[in-house]
Structures are given as structure tokens and as C-alpha cells.
Amino acid sequence: MSKVNLRELLNKMTTKQKIAQLEQLAARYFTKNKTDITGPLRDLGLTEDELKIIGTNLGIGSVEDMIDVQNRHLDEDPNHIPMIFMSDIIHGFRTIYPIPLALGCSFDDQLVYECSRMAAREASVGGLQATFTPMVDCIRDARWGRVMESCGEDPYLNGIMGQAQVKGFQGDDISNPGNIAACVKHFAGYSAGEAGRDYNMAELSEHSLRQVHFPAYKACVDAGVKMVMPSFNVLNGVPSVANKWLVNGVLRNEWGFDGIVISDWDAVYELTQHGVAADLKEAALLAFENGCNIEMMSFSYISHLEELINEGKISVDRLDEYVMKVLEFKEELGLFDDPYHGASSEDSKKLFLCSEHREISRRAARESAVLLKNDNILPLDRKLKSIALIGPFANSDDINGAWSCAGRRNECVTVKEGIRNLLPEVDIKYAKGCESYLNDRNISGFEQAIVTAKSADAVILCLGEPSDYSGEERSRTELTLPGMQLELARAVIDANPNTAVVLFGGRPLELVELDSIAPAILHMWFPGTEGGNAVSELLFGVYSPCGKLSVSFPKKVGQCPIYYNYTNTGRPKSRYIDCDKFPQYFFGYGLSYNKFTYNSMILSSHTIDKNSSIKVSVEVTNEGCMSGKETVQLYLRDLVSSASRPVQELISFKKVNFEKGETKTVEFEITEPMLRFWNADNEFVSERGEFEISVGYADHMKFTEKFSLI
């Protein structure tokens, strides 16, 4: 604990200095020469004196820049208050691991924790003390570009993975170097924007919010997350950063969150664009009254809060409360004792891309990959003499994924490099075939690709979406493979049927036709730094794929939004005339090189009450020819209740390692709180009656039993 008396520090600050603690400014304004920033600062409405007292910094480029900026800031700030340096660490700092949507497919919260610990260590020595992670928006519409940032479509799974990220980043004490503060986002309903369009409005009932969208945020709050970021969108008519019911009501009063609420980039100014504030001054008042402690890149506070205080619309006590919260946050981060929080150029060189971190990234890429189809093509024989490596991602370093913080594409292991690392003697014949972009219709590379395919023992065809098709402002109206890739697949598979397709990307795509022609499809998502090595180890059977889909894949984009835990309609004929209503691949689906046989499911009792539990025992055997992992998934259905309930809900899962031929009994425990839901009166209750418990994956249950809550 620092020796700084925060109350004394607060009391000697001017009003302007206090307000500046509530502002966040992008790093570029601190790293440029003053002569370079005079114009941009004026455009933001800031003076050079105000720049010296800004409280937090966003997106610093290097540890050297961070140390330099912090040094100058401590010299120039009249009160010598250190800045907090924050950034988006979505799936790794310098050593990049798979995107969150892929990590969701691992069904392994311990692995997610390890990845987050690794990122926190690198970020800390790299000059950061806080990250805008995890993103736990519930994904139901693949058109939205930011699906890559979430762990999937299931509220329970998102909550488990979100908690793992919070605990991984923050550790036991965020003042310790190697730990950084986490920020859960985007609260709330951001993923439910109309038409899958980024920033778009969302109309969601309170029941839907509480049942589907809130649980993962609440799980992160319960895990002790230090910051919460309201979403950009209008939610039920009110932008989230000004939504009193959402922030002051649910987050602060109901859930008891006492940490930092920080706006998203320019979101306070955007209140004027939404039409709920006449000008920046009114926007400042709305956001401040709604408990927004730090505004990011709007500067409505530093421009207008003092005026609002003089007009009596904001109290000095309320301002002091906000500033004290920020100062306490800086103290909790240990910045008054060590303003650099362990940042070190020398240590970063030792830690970045070290062998331990590469192995974590590699393991995560293997565990996140999902085998979608396999007609006895995979695994490929390691004794093959020649391999045709074809496609726009076959020798590309664009498999890190969007928003990889300090990661560098040229440090990513490509598929070609990964195969060469595993099989140094094999003859690799390479042909790109085509580009991966939407409007590229060039097929001039097809001829070489076909010749290459015919000349090899087997083909590895690497297709997908470029990384810049995922992330913010990357919504799509079509979910097909971009450009001429599907046509390339037809030509290559026709030339050599011994073809395995490897997919890269950040969202579910329409794969009906590809599934119909490809003998095997392995989805790698964006696997990160060690992606190429992980691909080769999976394709050639060093490891068996074990990922399970954390998101449903539509047959057609017109099915979106689509998800497994839907509620039945009153009429079974709720359908399309040109497509069925079910996805191509369901949530929870994923193949293995092994055959896992579910032999039995036994319930210890068929009744439960508020003081008892039911043990569920599932016997599983690995009848395959190699060791491997299977995720045993437990689903619940409430058969009759006061509000219509989903046809199935994931309530637990266990990822288990099996040796060849091994049988294990996997056990779960069902308790009464697991049966609770938000009823028609928005009360969180359980109701007496009959339930179904099933084991398997969505739409493919191995066993189903019934029990009753009495």
C-alpha cells in the first residue's frame, strides 16, 4: 500500500485537475512532439496544460514509449499522479493465442485462464496496467464482425470463460507486476444489434436481457472484475452509457458493482448523435449522472463539468467521489509505488515469444480447433512423400486474427512452416490458387493449383476469411467464403479427392456446399502465433482434434440470428420454404479421430428439493486408436414452467482425457439453483415440476432421463 494520503491529494487538486483524472486520451497525443499535436489537440478542445494532467492513456505502442510518457507526465503533472496505461488485449499481447470465439470451442476454462495469465505477464512488462477484456456479449448473429471477440452463443459458457479471463488477467492482487486490471464489455445487448450491424440499436425485453445477455456480465462482476464498459448501442431506446436502469440500477445497485465504469471510444459524444443530448454539455451531464467514471476520447467532462458544477447541476461531492474512485484504482494498481508496474524493456525481450508462452499458444490452438467433417481422410500419413499445399492461407501469416495487440504477423508460424517443422523431408508443393477477398474474381491461379493437386499424394487446402473481415465495423450481409475460394475448392477436390480443407476465420460461415464436396474440414479459426505448428500436429495425427463448437453455423445467412437454445413456437410449421430451420453444425458439435462411446447415464435420484442434489454419472469409453479428449456436455430442459423455456440449456460440462481403450465415469451434480430462471414477472426462481437431463451435444443426445423438483 502506498504512503500517499489520497484524501490530502484530492483536497489540494483544482477542479480542472480533478476532472482530468476522469479523461482517457489516445497514446498518440503523448508520444508525438508538441509541434506535431498542437492542431489535433485544438480539434479535441484540449490545451497543452490539460494534456499534462490527463488521468489515463489508451493504446501505447511500446514499453519504451510507456516509460518515456510516464516519466514526462510525472514531471509535468502538478500533483505527480501517475497515468494508467490501458489497451485492448483481446487474444494475447505479443505471443498471440486463438481468438476468444475459438477459445470457447476449447470448453477448457483452465486453458483460457492460462492464456490470460500469459497475456497479463507480457502486457505488464510491455507497459500496460489494464485491458478491455473480456468481451462476453452473447453471439447469435454471425453477420456481426465482433463475434470473434466472444466465447460464443451460450450464456453459461460465456460466463465460465469470462470469469477465467478475469481471474487470469487480474491474479490475486493487481498491484503485483504480472497482473493487470480487466474490463468486461460491452454492457449490454451490443451483440443483438438490428440486422447484425455494428453499433446498431437493440430492442430486448427485460426477460431476454436477464435470461440470455446479463448472466455472463454478472459472472464477471462476481469474479471481481475491476472495470465495466457500457456498450455503444441504444438499448430499448436509451444509449447504454446514459441508461440509468442498466448502469445505476442493475450494475451498481442490484449487482453491487463498485469499480470503474468507463465509456467506449467517443461514446459520450455519441449521445448527441443518438439524439438524446442536444450538445456535448448535455451529454456530459447524462453520462456523469449515470455513473460513468472515465470517458474515453470524448472530452465532454473536461470541457463542461466545471461549468455544470458552477450551475449547480453536478455537486462537488459527486465529482470528488468519482475522482477518489480513480485515485483508489491507481493505488490498487500500485502505481503510486511503482508508476511503471514492472514495465521493462529488458524483461520484455526475455518474456515475449518465450518457449513457455509459445507452447501455451500452441496448445490453445490445438484444443480450440474443431473437426467438422472427416470421411476417413484424416489424420494424414506422416510417411507421405508429397503434399500439395494450396489456398490463400496455405503460406500466409494472416492467421493471427484481428486485434492481436502487440502481435506481429511476421512472427506467426504459417501452415507451410508448420508442416516443414513437423516433416522436414516431405516434398511440399505450393500453389496459392486465388486471393481471399470478396471482390477478387481472379482465377488465373487455378491452373497451377490443379496441376499441383494432381501431382501430390494428398492436398491440404487452406481457405477462409482474411483477419480484417473480423472485428469492429466488419459486419457482412453474406456468409459465404469470400472471392473464388469455393470455386477453387471444387477444382482442387475434383483434381485430387484426397483433400483436407483447413478453414481460418473469425465467424461462422455458410459451408453447406463445401461440406458436400470436401472429404474433411478442420476449422482452426484464427489460431495465433503458433497456428501453423498446431495445424500440422492435428492434420498428421500427433494430436486428435477435440474442440466443440461454441456457436452454431447457419445453412443460410437468412437463418440469422440462429442458436441452439431456442424456445418452441406454438406451431411446428414455423419454417422457411427454401431451407429448414436448423443450423449446418450445432453448438457443441465436433468430431475426433477417436470414437467415444457413451455407455450409460445414471441418476442417483429422480427427485430433488432445495436441500438436496442429484448425482449424474456418465460412463464413456474411448474406442479409438489414440489418446484424446472428449467434452462431456450436460443439458437441461424444463418441461413445463410459467414462462416458455428453451428446448435445451447447457448447465455443465467436463473435458476429460482418455487413453486408448480407456473407460471413465464422468460425474456431475445437479442442485436446485441450477434449475432457476427468470419467470414472467422477472423473478429468478425455480418451479416445481418435471425436468429432462441429457448428455451429448445440441440436437444429438446420447441419453435422456427425467427427474422432478419437489
For 470, other C-beta atoms within 10 Å of its C-beta total 25
What is d(CA 270, CA 283) in angstroms, rounded to the nearest whole number? 8
DSSP state of 675: G
Q: What are the DSSP E strand ranges found in 335-443?
A: 370-374, 386-390, 427-431
Q: What are the DSSP E strand ranges found in 191-231?
A: 227-230
| Candidates 154, 264, 397, 398; catalytic one | 264
| Beta strands at 684-685 and 677-678: parallel, antiparallel or unpaired | antiparallel
DSSP state of 323: H
User: For residue 289, what is its C-alpha cell?
Assistant: 449522472
Closest C-alpha among 396, 437, 401 to residue 417: 396
Closest C-alpha among 666, 604, 362, 391 to residue 502: 391
Three-class SS of 263-302 = CCCCCCCHHHHHCCCCCHHHHHHHHHHCCCCEEECCCHHH
What is d(CA 18, CA 4) in angstroms, rounded to the nearest whole number? 16
DSSP state of 129: S
Residue 493 half-sphere exposure toward CB, CA atoms < 13 A = 22
513 three-state secondary structure? helix
Q: Which amino acid is it at 105?
A: C
Question: In the annotation, is 264 catalytic?
Answer: yes
Cβ(8)–Cβ(79) below 8 Å: no
Q: How many residues does the chain have?
A: 710
Q: Which residues are catalytic?
A: 264
